[in-house]
Structure 1
Amino acid sequence: METIERRVLVVEDERVIADAVAARLRAEGFQVHLAGDGPAAVEAARTIRPDVVVLDVMLPGFDGLEVCRRIQAERPVPVLMLTARGDETDLLVGLAVGADDYMAKPFSMRELAARVHALLRRAEKNQAHAKKNQLQLGDLEINSSERRVTRAGVEIHLTPTEFDLLVHLAGRPRTVVPRERLLAEVWGWADASGTRTVDSHIKALRRKLGADLIRTVHGIGYALEVDR
C-alpha cells in the first residue's frame, strides 16, 4: 500500500482540474505538489524528486512533451500524461520522450488514481526484482540489472515502460502474448480498456529496434521474433 511519503507532481495549468486531481490523490495517501507551467514543472521535479508525475500536454512556457523530455534526461521517473488530443502522432511523441502512460480528457478521477498506483507498483517491482543478468536473443541483448538494450552492438534508448514490455516479450520468445496479459503484467491493469496503450508502445519499440523484431497476431497480441 502506498504511503504518505510517496510524492506526486501534478502539472496542470487549469486550476479546477489541478485541484480536483490533487484532492483525489491526497485522499489516496500521496503527497501532492502542483505546477502550472513548463519551467515551474521542471524546477519542481528537480527540487521535489517526485515518485510519479501527472503531466498535462498543453502548458504555458513550454509544453508537456518538453517537460517530460527534460525531467527524464535528469532523472527517470514514471509519467502519466494527460491530453485533450486524439492524434496518435502526439501520443507517440509523448511515449518517445519518456511518458509511461496517458489518459485523454475528460477522465475519471478514480481511473487516474488507479493508473498512478499501477505506475508506482511497477516501478517498485522493477527495483525489487532487478537481477544482474544478461539475456541474449539473436542480435538482441538485454541487460536487466543496468536496464540497457543493444541490437547488433548498437545501444538503444528505451523508456522504462518500453523496456518492461520488451522484457516480458523476451521472456517467452516466438510465443504470442495477448494484449490483456501485457496490460496486466506490464501496466498492472485489471481490465482490457487500455489495449491502445499496448499498441502505441509496440509501435515505439518497432521504430527503435526494427520493424522485423515484433510480430503482430491480429486480434490476439504480439510475439518477439528472435532465436532463443
Structure 2
Amino acid sequence: MTQLLLVDDDRDLCSLISDFLTSNGLAVEMAHDGPACLRAAGIRRYDLILLDVMMPGMDGFAVLAELRRFSDTPVVMLTARGEPADRIAGLRLGADDYLPKPFDPDELLARIQAILRRVTGVTVRESSPNIEIAGVRLNPSARAVTCNDQPVDLTAAEYEILEQLMRAAGRPVSRDEISLRLYQREASPFDRSIDVHLSHIRRKLGESGAMIRTIRGAGYLFALDKAGETVE
C-alpha cells in the first residue's frame, strides 16, 4: 500500500486529511513538527510527503532543505501563504508541487495520484531503451540520469521534464505540454514552477545544461548536440 507522511501542526486538520486519504486507499502517518518529520523520514521510506509550510519552530522550508540532504521522496507543500515568492522558494528547495490552503480534498488526491504515477514510472515501459545525447544519459527503467558518466540527482518533477525534453530532442516542447505531463493541467501565465525546475536541471547538468534552450514563443528544446544543431 502507498505510504504517505502528513506533516502539519494542526492536529484536527491532519485527522481530516488522513481520514479522507485513507478512505481512498492510501496509508497515512502523521507528524506534527519539523523534527518529527525528519526522524520519521530517516527511519522509513515514504512514497510521498505532504508538508505544511507554516509550522512553529522549524518551518516547512527548513524541513524541506534538511530533508533534501538525505531523501528524494516527492514532497507536496501545503501553504496558506499564496505569494508566488513562497511557492518559488519551495520549488527551489526541491518541492515537487504546492497546494494553497484551503484546498479541495479531491484536488489534493488528484495531485498525489499524478505525482505517484510519475514516480512509479507507470507510463514508462521497463524495456524502454536508454536515451543518450552528447554525454547526457537517461535510463527510464531506473529513472536515473548521468552526465559524462557522473550520476545526476534529480527530483521526480525534474526527471519528468528532462525525459520529456530528451524524448523530443531537436524540437521545442511547449510549457503547456510540460504542465500537462507534470500537473495534468495547462500552464498558468503566473506559475513559474516549470522555470524553477528547468533552472535546477540546467545547474545540475553543469556545462551540458546549456543544451536545454528556451525558444521564445515555442517553449523549451533539448539540442541534439552541444553545438546546438537541431532538426528543422
TM-score, normalised relative to structure 1? 0.79
Alignment match of 2:161 (pick from 138, 161, 165): 165
1:192 is aligned to: 186
**Cα pair 1:51 1:77 within 8 Å, conserved:** yes
**SS of the counterpart of 2:25?**
coil
**Cα pair 2:74 2:95 within 8 Å, conserved:** yes
**SS of the counterpart of 1:177?**
coil
**Cα pair 1:96 1:159 within 8 Å, conserved:** no
Alignment match of 1:40 (pick from 36, 39, 62): 36
Letter of the aligned partner of 1:142 in structure 2? Answer: L
Specify whether residues 90 and 158 from structure 1 end up closer, same or farther in structure 2 by C-alpha distance, changes over 3 A only. Answer: farther
Query: CA offset at residue 12 of structure 1?
Result: 0.9
| Alpha-carbon distance in 1 for matches of 2:72, 2:204 | 19
Identity of aligned residues (%): 35
**Cα pair 1:95 1:204 within 8 Å, conserved:** no
Q: How does 1:48-197 map to 2 (within 5 A)?
A: 48-86=44-82, 88=84, 90-125=86-121, 129-130=125-126, 133-151=129-147, 155-185=151-181, 187=182, 189=184, 191-192=185-186, 196=191, 197=193
Query: CA offset at residue 89 of structure 1?
Result: 5.1
Aligned-residue CA RMSD in angstroms?
Answer: 3.0
Query: CA offset at residue 140 of structure 1?
Result: 2.7
Q: How does 1:197-208 map to 2 (within 5 A)?
A: 197-208=193-204
Runs of 4+ more than 6 Å apart? none
Letter of the aligned partner of 2:221 in structure 1? Answer: A
Gaps of 5+ in 2: none
Which region of structure 1 is more displaced relative to structure 2, 141-150 or 52-61? 141-150
Query: CA offset at residue 39 of structure 1?
Result: 0.7
Query: CA offset at residue 30 of structure 1?
Result: 1.4
1:23 is aligned to: 19
| Alpha-carbon distance in 2 for matches of 1:127, 1:182 | 15
Gaps of 5+ in 1: none
**Cα pair 1:52 1:77 within 8 Å, conserved:** yes
Specify whether residues 223 and 121 from structure 1 end up closer, same or farther in structure 2 by C-alpha distance, changes over 3 A only. Answer: same
Which region of structure 1 is more displaced relative to structure 2, 198-207 or 114-123? 198-207
TM-score, normalised relative to structure 2? 0.78
| Alpha-carbon distance in 1 for matches of 2:123, 2:187 | 27
Query: CA offset at residue 154 of structure 1?
Result: 5.4
1:14 is aligned to: 10
**Cα pair 1:183 1:192 within 8 Å, conserved:** yes
